[in-house]
Amino acid sequence: MRRIERAFVTLNGAVLVLGLAAMTVILGWNVAGRYLTGNSLTWADEVARYSMIWLTFLGCGLALRHGAHAAITNAQDALPTRGQLVLRGLILLVLFGFFGFMVWVGIDYMNRMSIQRSAALQVPMRWIYAAMPAGFALMIVHLALIAPQYLRAGLQHSDEAPLG
């Protein structure tokens, strides 16, 4: 199971790196073309914007896994061990519920935008808005994978020992 989890995390990270690299090349090419030839790619800004949206949602799960999202741990740390365990369990339930709700809302919103097209690329906006349910679904998977460790030990309080 740990091997599958590592492969999943590696794949998620590789998609982010490739997406960021592609976005960098497209924007670099566009800037160079604009200043060297006076011409720019009409679709480059749109690709950059939509890539950033997708990269943000696809990267949220990895950020969650490493405890990079904002968190307030004072209340948790002040509780006795049993209270910490109960609070962590409650936090996990709330997060699973919220992420599931956001997948549902994202799918609904994605379907509502299915008739709209982007200006430059003429891509159906449903594919742009699909980033939201995809990202929250990934967050559910990442949370499910780290939940046992989180219940046992809580989030790490330093950058030296991230979850995962």
Q: By the 8 A CB rule, do 27 and 6 touch?
A: no
Two tokens at 116? 């709209």
- Output 71 or 141, whichever has higher pLDDT: 141
For 49, the enclosing helix (H) or strand (E) is: helix 44-65
Which pLDDT tens digit goes with each residue over 31-56? 999 999 999 999 999 999 999 999 99
> Would you say the pTM of this structure is higher than 0.75?
yes
Write down the pLDDT at residue 75: 81
Alpha-carbon span 95 to 147, nearest angstrom:
11
* Structure confidence by residue, pLDDT tens digits, 54-95: 999 999 999 999 888 877 778 888 888 888 899 999 999 999
Answer yes or no: are the C-beta atoms of 134 and 58 closer than 8 Å.
Answer: yes
Backbone angles phi, psi at 70, to 5 degrees: -60, 135
